[in-house]
Amino acid sequence: MSGAADPAGGGAVRPTVRGWLVVAGGAVLLLSGALFGYRELVVLGGSACAVVLLALVLVGRLQAVNAWRRVAVSRVSPGDEVEVFLGASGNGRGRPAHLLADHVRGPSGASLVELPVGRSAAPDATGYRVPAQRRGVLDLGPIESRRRDPLGLVTARRGSDTTERVWVHPRWEALHAMPVGRSDDPQGGYDGGRTGSVSFHALREYVPGDDVRHIHWRSTARHGRLMVREHVDASHVRLTVVADDRAGETGDDLGALDEVASVAAAVCAAAVEGRWSCELRLVSGRSRESTGTLAPLLDLLAEAEVDTRAHLPDELWRLRKRPSGDTLVLVSASLSESEARGFGQLADLYPRLVLVSLCRSGTPIGAFPGVTVLNASDAQDLASQWGRQRWSS
């Protein structure tokens, strides 16, 4: 749950657009009646201005509030609904709020949700649901407390910095085998760990699923939020997954990226399930380590957006300059034959290269030495092909 007090300088009452129109119309009627001697116009114009003035008095200055938001689940899948509860308590002089307004921004656009302030003592008295229609990130907030007259002529509002983020993770099909680079067994698994091989890597913010024993309490107290120690096992099989977030040629860049994210999520999920060390990278340059949990990787895939400035050769250069791993998987929906062969040149660093080309339309990528090429129409098609591969060969 997140909450914050709103700025002390807010809460002043102001006419709305409708209120200004009424005032302007009243002024025109008053001026016309005075110039041409029509008493009726003077009465109408004066009444219009008086109504706005009365609304200003009735609404009054809005009191300061402590607004809070509670999100039932911060990580969901497409098709789910996000349940959000709002609340506020007054902590100063002024009129109480009638409405709580929450800003919602996501892959489907931006909207404003207005709810009446709950009169019940229950903390969940005021709430709404947001449909998670597709992969992406929902940014909630800031919250505004509002008060206005019944005619909508004037309003008073106070904003707060109360924000929240909800990740809509891509859906994926389970993969039951993994391509092993240096060493493998007939079951497709590998255990390369050695006693004492786990070492400290970095501190990062806690995500659901992390081992609570890794919480670093001194850093938590210093940052004001839960921080955990991130460990890596350098002796374990290491898988690197590259998701191509460039603009494609199909005309539906966002739909193509959704399919790329679903396939990348499936590969990452299988790696984490098999206790592999897994790194997810985007062609645009961002990356994230699994650290034994899947949530950080799915968060990155949810945050991925089509990047028209991303350049695959730049990412291949970055892969060549960093410590190599055992297996490298590239997932793309906009790959050319020449780019595929450029990817194959990393065979001197990675014992196993896997190229997944999602080509709903167009020419499939041909086979060439050193790279396992899988052409699929979508994530479901890829899952069926993946299971038929003899990865241990």
Q: Give the DSSP per-residue string, 137-190.
A: EEEEEEEEEEEE-TTSSEEEEEE----EEEEEPPP---------SS---TTS--
pLDDT for 274 equals 85
Maximal CA-CA distance, the chain: 101
Classify burial at 38, counting beta carbons within 10 Å of its beta carbon; exposed 0-12, middle 13-18, buried 19 or more: middle
Residue 209's contacts (CB-CB under 8 Å, 6 or more residues apart) are 293, 294, 295
**Ranges 19-33, 95-109, 242-256, most confident:** 19-33
pLDDT tens digits for range 66-81 = 888 999 999 999 999 9
Question: 372 or 159: which carries more pLDDT confidence?
Answer: 372
The confidence band for 197, taking pLDDT boundaries of 50, 70 and 90, is: very low
What is the rounded distance in angstroms from the CA atom of residue 303 to the CA atom of residue 167? 8
Share of the chain above pLDDT 90, in %: 49
Name residue 55's beta-bridge partners.
none
pLDDT for 188 equals 41
pLDDT for 264 equals 96
Residues in the chain, overall count: 393
Q: Does pLDDT of 149 surpass 80?
A: yes
What is the rounded distance in angstroms from the CA atom of residue 51 to the CA atom of residue 18? 12
pLDDT for 185 equals 40
pLDDT for 196 equals 42
pLDDT tens digits for range 116-136 = 886 544 444 688 999 999 999
Question: 218 or 329: which carries more pLDDT confidence?
Answer: 329
Q: Does pLDDT of 268 surpass 90?
A: yes
Quote the pTM value.
0.77
What is the rounded distance in angstroms from the CA atom of residue 192 to the CA atom of residue 274? 12
Task: Note whether 169 and 200 are within 8 A (CB).
Answer: no
Which H or E run contains 383? helix 379-388
Task: Note whether 139 and 94 are within 8 A (CB).
Answer: no
Write out the two tokens for 262. 């679903």
| Backbone CA torsion sign across 361, 367, 371, 372 | positive
Task: Note whether 327 and 181 are within 8 A (CB).
Answer: yes
Question: 235 or 168: which carries more pLDDT confidence?
Answer: 168
Name residue 88's beta-bridge partners.
67
The CA–CA distances, whole Å, from 288 to 48, 123, 223, 279 equal: 61, 36, 21, 6
Residue type, 350: Y
The CA–CA distances, whole Å, from 219 to 49, 376, 387 equal: 58, 45, 44
The confidence band for 91, taking pLDDT boundaries of 50, 70 and 90, is: confident
